[in-house]
Amino acid sequence: MIVSRLLPLLRLVLVMLVTAGLLPAAPAMAQSLRGSSASLDRQNLQARRHDYSYLARDRDVARFVDAGLLVPVEGGAHYQLTGVAFRVARPEVRLFIERLSADYARTCGTPLVVTSLTRPKTRQPANASARSVHPTGMAVDLRVPAGAACRRWLESRLLALEGRGVLDVTLERSPLHYHVAVFADPYLAYVATTTSRPAKTPARTAVAAAGRPSPAPAHTVGRGDTLWRIAQTYDTTPAAIRRANRLVSSAIRPGQRLVIPTSSGD
């Protein structure tokens, strides 16, 4: 009885101490970044929707690299790799890293650090979940920044993207890092809405003005190509290319010939 009467008073005292700065408040981001079974469900659902394979061995990774399904992720001015055994990933993951790291470097003045990418099942750490999507190539691990301001910025950006449904992010602690699973089609659609299209070339404008219909161009997929990059080249959208070629996902392969629609239709 006495304890129950004292509980409200104890809560009030704790609130006053936190407000006065005498006790640290629990970080708000930590709860939002916690992993869960539902999070793994979302990641694996996206892997199935994109028809991704869960690679088992090193030779499977090499085979996917040769087929152009996994592309090199080598680092650059805005990001660096540390302890990454297989420096390859799905093209959309590389695009995500390039865009995120450019903003991070401008904000924090230091490169973003990638600590893991594609990992075949035989190279998974002992504490990895059996449902991990690292073997598909759709995931990237990022080092947690040492500075509080950069950590807040990075967590805010990742959670904002998660809120848009283009990725799933979890703060993992053994070792401490952000695990990010990139959802290819939703992410490419998001990028298309945030990227301004290049101006039409004079040649295209002249043809349109003359009213002469031109045949739909075609593009032969090269190594490292993604639908997003191809769409930017031809002033269209990934969704329009998928519709024109009746593609069920954004997965393409080198040597594949794609019809390029003359209008995005969006």
The pLDDT of residue 124 = 95
The pLDDT of residue 248 = 79
* Ranges of each domain in the chain: 32-187, 197-259
214, 215, 216, 219 alpha-carbon torsion, rounded to 10°: -110
- The pTM of the full predicted model, rounded to 2 decimals, is 0.69
- Name the fold adopted by 32-187: Muramoyl-pentapeptide Carboxypeptidase; domain 2 (3.30.1380)
* 197-259 CATH choice from 3.30.360.10, 3.40.50.720, 3.40.50.1820, 3.10.350.10: 3.10.350.10
Q: Is 206 helix (H, G, I), strand (E, B) or coil?
A: helix
Q: Going by DSSP bridges, is the β-strand pair 79-81/112-116 parallel, antiparallel, or unpaired?
A: parallel
Nearby residues of 261 by Cβ (< 8 Å), 6 or more positions away: 216, 236, 240, 241, 243, 244
pLDDT in tens, 40-57: 999 999 999 999 999 999
Tokens representing 183 are 């959802």
The pLDDT of residue 22 = 46
Nearby residues of 154 by Cβ (< 8 Å), 6 or more positions away: 104, 112, 142, 144, 145, 178
The pLDDT of residue 12 = 45
The pLDDT of residue 116 = 97
Q: Going by DSSP bridges, is the β-strand pair 88-89/71-72 parallel, antiparallel, or unpaired?
A: antiparallel
The pLDDT of residue 266 = 46
Inter-residue contact 70 to 88 (CB < 8 Å): yes
* Regions of the chain short of the pLDDT cut 70: 1-32, 196-215, 263-266
The pLDDT of residue 264 = 53
Kindly report the average pLDDT of the chain as a whole number: 83
